[in-house]
Amino acid sequence: MITVLAGGTGSAKLVRGLAAHVSPDDLTVIVNIGDNILLHGLYICPDVDTILYALAGVLDKPRGWGFKDDTFNFLEQGSKYGLEDWFKLGDKDLAIHIARTEMMKAGLTLGEVTQQIAKHLKVYQKVLPASDEHIETRILTPEGDMHLQEFWVKRKGTPNVLGVSYRGSENPQPASGVVKAIHDADKVVICPANPVTSIGPILHIPSIREVLTKVRSRVVAVSPIVNNRPISGPAGKFLRGIGAEVSPVGVAQIYSGFAGRLLVDETDRAAIDSIEEIGVEGIAANILMRDESAERQLAQFIISI
């Protein structure tokens, strides 16, 4: 039984790799919800959709998000009526947001909705949003705080980052099944994901932090930072913004209470001593997933640890 904590683009690769080795009944993916956003009256869950699309084999792989071979007629036409068009919602992608919003309006929780959508996409792994609540990652900049998507997509990641916060209820609760999936797993994998804006919102939920601390020796994380740089996305800017080091050591510091092991790239072997000083076992491996074969190899390695 493997339970995975996931963000979006980087995580989708490892989740796909794990799904190639593990029976669907034995794989649970707990997904970030901090980047969820309401746009055009639709509730959009980018990371949940990225994971669902990856497992269904319909993810646009080069982009790492959205439905493959999608078109953007809705967005093009909508912009003529003054609709915001900075967040690229494809025509096929649109269907999942409309279906989700309808089901939520009918009273289903985000977890229940995700289960329904997974069934329609013939995804048999358990995909759980970290919470049914809206917990929103806010990026603090000199211009004030803004939604993560506004910072990264609308503003192209240009404002300075002064800090990051998670906006929501005072004591956010995990979605049904999340704590049990972590508690009962033989192995918990923290995917390569943005530690601040993808794994951060999951760790923000007190009972998730608590159970991870308990099973820490069974938790293995994969560094999203190789050679002191993220492979993609704004992780470097966010890590600096919260005062963390942009290195596998910085990642180990953030995860040290929750993960017993951290996989770093072969080229970062020199960082292992510093990682172990923090009390995390450092393991060097090929953690760059350039193609599906690399995804499966890394997944196999993680299973074998």
**Chain contacts with ligand FO1 (rule: CB under 6 A):** 7-9, 35, 46-47, 49-50, 65-66, 87-89, 93, 149, 152-153, 198
**Residue from 304, 150, 159, 185 nearest 238 by CA:** 159
Of 9-17, 21-29, 51-59, 211-219, the window that binds ligand GDP (rule: CB under 6 A) is: 9-17
230 binds, among ligand FO1, ligand GDP, none (CB under 5 to 8 A by kind): ligand GDP
Asked if residue 16 lies in contact with residue 55, where contact means CB atoms within 8 angstroms, the answer is: yes
The upper half-sphere exposure of residue 163, i.e. CA atoms within 13 Å in the direction of its Cβ, equals 5
Specify the residue, 48 or 271, whose C-beta has the smaller distance to ligand FO1: 48
Residues 282 and 273: their CA atoms lie apart, in Å, by 8
230 binds ligand GDP (CB under 6 A): yes
Alpha-carbon distance values, 213 to 3, 210, 270 (Å) = 15, 5, 27
Interface size with ligand GDP, residues (CB under 6 A): 23
Which residues, 167 to 196, sit near ligand GDP by CB under 6 A? 192-194
7 binds ligand GDP (CB under 6 A): yes
Residues 10 and 233: their CA atoms lie apart, in Å, by 10
Query: Min. distance of Cβ 215 from ligand GDP in angstroms?
Result: 22
Query: Min. distance of Cβ 149 from ligand FO1 in angstroms?
Result: 5
**Coil, strand or helix: which one is 132?**
coil
Q: Which residue has the tokens 């913004």?
A: 241
Specify the residue, 103 or 261, whose C-beta has the smaller distance to ligand GDP: 261
